[in-house]
Amino acid sequence: KNEVEQSPQNLTAQEGEFITINCSYSVGISALHWLQQHPGGGIVSLFMLSSGKKKHGRLIATINIQEKHSSLHITASHPRDSAVYICAVRSAVGGTSYGKLTFGQGTILTVHP
């Protein structure tokens, strides 16, 4: 079993819908990242969280450290949000460890017009 599990693996939505992608992890972490991989292949960092909640435009990321769970929400989804969304955790073991990340398997999001 992977240390980082995402759900769902595939998600299809209609434009305008509210979307939630979940990430659960089984190790102690110092930070959690949400990444977006565009259909063209490029990877962009969306958020880094160590507690609470962050918002950027239509994207909101939350984390519950006690429950070892994070969610990425997209409000008013748009076809251009179609991408693979990847959760990654930075382990707390061995200190900050130069930012070594362990990744979830990704969620493929398709938003139809």
| Residue 93 lies near another protein (rule: CB under 8 A) | no
Q: Which of residues 49-68 bind another protein (CB under 8 A)?
A: none
Cβ neighbour number for residue 41 with a 10 Å cutoff: 7
**What is the x/- site pattern for another protein, positions 20-39, by CB under 8 A?**
-----------x-x-x-x--
Q: Could you tell me if 40 and 31 are in contact, meaning their C-beta atoms sit under 8 angstroms apart?
A: no
- Least Å from the CB of residue 26 to another protein: 17
Cβ neighbour number for residue 51 with a 10 Å cutoff: 11
Cis peptide upstream of residue 39 (ω within 30 degrees of 0)? no
Total residue count of the chain as it appears in this document: 113
- Least Å from the CB of residue 90 to another protein: 7
- Least Å from the CB of residue 85 to another protein: 11
